[in-house]
Structure 1
Amino acid sequence: MMEGFLARLEDELMDFRAIEYKGIQKTEEELINLFYFKFQNAPLLSRMDAIRDYCVDEYETLLGRDLSEEELLIVQEKFDKMYVTKDIYKIYGWLLEECGYPSLPDVEYEKRKLEYEDVFPVLYLKYRLTGKAVHNHIKHLVIDEMQDYSYLQYVILNQIFKCRMTILGDKAQTLDEQMRDVLQFLPGVFDQKIRKIVMNKSYRNTMEIARYAEKLTGVKDVELLKRHGKEVVEEQFQTEDAVLDEILSKAKLGEDEYETAAIITMTEAEASTLYQILKARGEEVHYIDRNSSVFKKGLTVTTFYLAKGLEFDQVFGVFQDAGNPMLNQAKYICATRALHELYMYQITE
């Protein structure tokens, strides 16, 4: 769909007209030939700039002098008018309509906003229409949490980084409702130049926690480090206060063995509520949200998706919506954060 749309823009975005300014003269037919043949490899929204420079250089060579800044601006304006628009925001709105979705709101530039899901399609559209900066100074790129990147994001990364890459992740930790294996499409993005390494040894968790995590995903080929610990605890509670009472009674912070513990929830609203209750009780507790930049020892409250990449001595998973389609992934991510002890609690109110 995207490629077909881009191909049609070659015609639909253009309104060719003859240009004449001082000694610069080009007929509509001459401009069309320059656009579709001589400069056909230039990005669409940069192509008229290339043609303008070609015409200006041709004229300045014959004239024997350079055009002034004011004259160049006038010429630029004449060439820009041959585009119906150069506004990526509007062009993306056309694409949405063509795909059967509502267009973007027609608002002033300062009030424009994009949903997260639209950011990378817009970025890809911009690169294709205006050209991209290739970061040749980067020698090796490391991408973590590979399962959370979309096909389009990998296409963009492949276009702007031409260096070697190390891409790693765990497909069971995806933030999508369904697990997906990005290795199914990566060879197509990177032209088959991929060496796959499967790392199936688990060192972080005790065997009890690792086996619990295995049951959540159905993954059976993990080689576990033979370190035993406490069995995973699963309990139900009727209220938030009741579950917090239990957590505080089980937390072993301040003792010699544990330095960190986490209460992990499904949503930011749930995490914020538990954090506020604990603060009101006078408990020493930290809160990690999307704006946090510091990780501290002690008791932390956060969501499963913000806990990715972190690890804690004790983890207390607190879940309320048993019907949430992301519940299984949330529990898996929660389980894989725990080093020594894992408690999985359900609030049934």
Structure 2
Amino acid sequence: MTDPIDVAILGASGYTGAELVRLLLRHPHVRIAALTADRKAGQAMADVFPQFSGIELPRLTTIAEVDLDAIDLVFCALPHGTTQGVIADLFARKPSLKVVDLSADFRLADPAAYETWYGHPHQQLALQEEAAFGVVELNREAIAKARLVANPGCHSTTSILPVVPLLKDKLIHPDQIVITSATGMSGAGRAAKEEMLFSEVSEGVHAYGVGKHRHTAELDQEFDKAAGRPARATFTPLLIPMNRGIYATITVTLEGGATAEQLHETLARTYAGEPFVTVLPFGKVPQSRHVRGSNGVQLGVVADRGPDRAVLISTLDNLTKGASGQAVQNMNLICRFPETSGLEQLAIFP
């Protein structure tokens, strides 16, 4: 019987923090020992998220008030650009701590790329060198040995899972990958923003961050590595009026006489036995509603009308597999728990 570990969630008042609480309350090997917030410090979690009414949870505190001596692992669900200093301080206080960071602060291995995309120099280069990029299905060995895991972005996870195996097998052209990735509203966070008001976003769809979305840097990093050369995908995110989910359509150009059926065979072989990735039968199209609320990913491969092209379709829930669910999956690897622990819930449909 594995002894439970005590975890802290920094930034518990946001959507990803609340999703971590939802998942960890059902985890057989975890106790939630501390929850932090900034403006909402001192409040009960149920005051911030009423779905937790009647559930005994720690009150929200500041990060400085967390007793790290009583904590085994920390989830950082803090805004981008704030986490590097926080995590450096955590490790200075307790070097044996394990950390899963849900921000973008440790996702990019190249400091120059980080500065280009985030507009300021990386502040913790030594920690960056030891951070493991947390796409579990493609980086298990490094994650299992890490004390710091950089949870990848939701858009990037959705596209990395179908594209990387095909680049590794040289089945698709590295410079002819076109990604359109539609996300629900919770991806924009919980802060009040005029452009996220119901009347501003309902009954329509729009692109954002065109040609400059920061998740593009993660795609460059992982696609380059898989292809063994620079690979430059075209990535366009869309905002659609639903609460949860990401749905990516990816058009690829085939290489070396490959067929769309071979792409499907490669993905089916790569993810055979994976608990959270399902490759649908060839030609079948996944739907975002069929992964909602779960840690699952569904992948589809469809032949395009041109013999040298194919369409990959990938969908996941941006708050679970795209953020908090993948973070729990990473924790399970680090702590040697069964990888599916706390993540067994099926999709909520209808």
TM-score by length of 1: 0.25
Between the two structures, name the one with larger relative contact order (CA 8 Å, sep ≥ 6): 2
Higher normalized strand content (fraction of residues): 2
- TM-score by length of structure 2 reads 0.25
Identify the structure with the greater helix proportion. 1
Larger Rg: 1
